[in-house]
């Protein structure tokens, strides 16, 4: 396989199910060695994109490359180098967790015995129980242990922690750090924004089948608005005249507003002129970014 710096490349990928366009000219670019967050509301197409990457679904048009290969034509060979955790883990009810971990590991071409033992310990999983007796969280652990005990180059994780408790969530984050320190690449689809914020170098946001934004969190913050709260000794100037200022709310001598980065200077200058006595400004949290991208926050048009 050719050496490449790109682990995942989806360009203008379209996938339809009957009349539904699950992916609509979707683009995704993941560099080797990064942890890439994959965000989007339910039904936005995250799992469809991952299944196209796994060669389970055949895309209608566009280009899909996974570790330099074609994920549809060379699915099985590529799967030796990747590990997958599905969002909704379905297991064989008559097999034990330990058997399933071995089975999936060996079908992938082998698993790391030391790490298998260590992960079972760390995730506090009883590998002797039949899968039909596991709770959702425990089924998720089986899939996680099976994936993480491989020496894969690329991990496709589809909401891998949706059933885990906070302690196990912390264990999972440690594991991701260990994987990346080995040089592995991770595509992490998640609704847990704190997890994405803690783990991801870059983030792609998908909505209704196409991506609305991609970039590092720093870039996204810089491109986005800052929330400012200020007090002045004089009357509050009319900030709505300044371009880039959104929805100023005035209470006596106190004002709160959002402002685009390039117009921050003008807004602060106007406040200074009115006798600035107190100022706090914070960049948007991932939560705010996320909500803006998903849109539909009353009083705020999406960026």
Partner 1 sequence: MKHYTGTGHLVRLILRRDRLILPAWILGNATMALFSANAVIDFYSDDRQIALYSRMMGDNITNLIMAGREAGLDTIGGIAVNEVSFMAGILISLMVLFTVVRHTRSDEEAGRTELVRSTVVGRHAPVLAALTVAILASVMTGALIAGAFIVAGVEAGGSLAFGASLAGLGVVFASSAAVAAQVSVTGRGALGIGGAVIAITFAIRGIAAIRDSPAVWLSPFGWAQAVESFGERRWWVLLVLVTGAALGFLLTAALGSRRDVGGGLLEPKLGRPRASGLLSTDTGFVWRTQRGLIFGWGALLLLLAALYGSIVTQVPEMLEQNPEAAAMFGDGAAGEALIDFFVAYISRFQASLLAAFTVMSVLRLRTEEQSGRAEAHLATAVPRWRWASANLLVSGLATVVLLTLVALTFGGVYALMDGNSNHLWLGLSGALVQLPAIAVVASGAFAIWGWTSTAWGWLVFACALVQTMLSDLLRFPDWLSALSPFWHTPAVPAESAEAWPLVILSLVAAALLALGFLGLRRRDIVTT
Cβ neighbours of residue 69 closer than 8 Å, sequence gap 6 or more: 1, 77, 78
Does an H or E element contain 116, and which?
A: helix 113-122
For position 99 contacting partner 1 by CB under 8 A, the verdict is yes
State the binding string over 219-258 for partner 1 (x if CB under 8 A, else -): ----------------------------------------
Residue in 2, 3, 42, 76 binding partner 1, rule: CB under 8 A: 76
Does an H or E element contain 296, and which?
A: none
**Residue 188 near residue 37 (C-beta atoms within 8 A):** yes
For position 207 contacting partner 1 by CB under 8 A, the verdict is no
Q: Which is nearer to partner 1, 58 or 265 (CB)?
A: 58
Alpha-carbon distance 33 to 119, whole Å?
22
Site for partner 1 in 117-176 (CB under 8 A): 126-130, 132-133, 143, 156
Q: Least separation, in Å, of the C-beta of 137 and partner 1?
A: 13
Q: Which is nearer to partner 1, 82 or 206 (CB)?
A: 82
| 183: nearest Cα among 67, 82, 81, 34 | 34
**Residue 258 near residue 247 (C-beta atoms within 8 A):** yes
Q: Least separation, in Å, of the C-beta of 44 and partner 1?
A: 15
| 99: nearest Cα among 124, 140, 126, 128 | 128
Q: Least separation, in Å, of the C-beta of 92 and partner 1?
A: 6
Site for partner 1 in 28-57 (CB under 8 A): 47, 51, 54-57
DSSP structural state of residue 224 = S
Q: Which is nearer to partner 1, 11 or 92 (CB)?
A: 92
Helices (H) and strands (E) in the chain, counts: 10, 13
Q: Which is nearer to partner 1, 64 or 156 (CB)?
A: 156
Q: Least separation, in Å, of the C-beta of 144 and partner 1?
A: 12
Q: Which is nearer to partner 1, 37 or 97 (CB)?
A: 97
Phi, psi of 252, rounded to the nearest 5 degrees: 55, -110
**Residue 107 near residue 179 (C-beta atoms within 8 A):** no
Cβ neighbours of residue 144 closer than 8 Å, sequence gap 6 or more: 85, 119, 123, 160, 172, 175
* Stretch of 107-115, 188-196, 236-244, 250-258 lying at the interface with partner 1 (CB under 8 A): 107-115
For position 79 contacting partner 1 by CB under 8 A, the verdict is yes
Residue in 89, 184, 188, 203 binding partner 1, rule: CB under 8 A: 89
Q: Least separation, in Å, of the C-beta of 211 and partner 1?
A: 21
For position 108 contacting partner 1 by CB under 8 A, the verdict is yes
Cβ neighbours of residue 158 closer than 8 Å, sequence gap 6 or more: 46, 47, 50, 84, 85, 86, 87, 189
Q: Least separation, in Å, of the C-beta of 84 and partner 1?
A: 4
Cβ neighbours of residue 300 closer than 8 Å, sequence gap 6 or more: 246, 247, 258, 292
Q: Least separation, in Å, of the C-beta of 273 and partner 1?
A: 60
Binding-site ranges for partner 1 (CB under 8 A): 47, 51, 54-58, 75-77, 79-80, 82, 84, 86, 88-92, 94-96, 98-104, 106-109, 126-130, 132-133, 143, 156
């Amino acid at each position: 396989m050719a050496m490449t710096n790109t682990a995942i490349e989806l360009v203008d990928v379209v996938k339809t199910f009957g009349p539904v366009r699950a992916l609509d000219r979707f683009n995704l670019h993941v560099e080797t060695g990064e942890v890439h967050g994959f965000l989007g509301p339910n039904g936005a197409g995250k799992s469809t994109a991952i299944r196209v990457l796994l060669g389970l679904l055949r895309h209608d048009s566009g280009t899909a490359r996974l570790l330099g290969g074609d994920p549809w034509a060379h699915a099985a060979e590529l799967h030796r180098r990747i590990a997958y955790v599905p969002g909704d883990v379905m297991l064989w009810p008559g097999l034990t967790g330990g058997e399933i971990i071995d089975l999936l590991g060996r079908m992938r071409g082998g698993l790391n015995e030391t790490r298998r033992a260590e992960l079972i310990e760390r995730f506090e999983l009883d590998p002797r129980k039949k899968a039909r007796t596991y709770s959702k969280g425990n089924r998720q652990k089986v899939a996680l242990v099976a994936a993480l005990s491989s020496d894969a180059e690329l991990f496709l994780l589809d909401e891998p922690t949706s059933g885990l408790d906070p302690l196990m969530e912390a264990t999972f984050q440690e594991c991701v750090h260990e994987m990346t320190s080995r040089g592995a690449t991770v595509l992490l689809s998640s609704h847990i924004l704190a997890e994405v914020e803690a783990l991801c170098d870059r983030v792609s946001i998908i909505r209704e089948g196409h991506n609305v934004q991609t970039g590092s969190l720093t870039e996204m913050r810089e491109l986005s608005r800052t929330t400012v709260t200020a007090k002045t000794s004089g009357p509050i100037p009319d900030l709505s005249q300044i371009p880039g200022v959104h929805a100023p709310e005035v209470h006596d001598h106190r004002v709160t507003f959002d402002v685009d980065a390039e117009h921050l200077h003008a807004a602060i200058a106007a406040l200074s002129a009115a006798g600035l006595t107190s100022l706090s400004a914070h960049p948007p949290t991932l939560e705010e970014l996320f909500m803006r991208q998903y849109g539909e926050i009353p009083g705020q048009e999406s960026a």
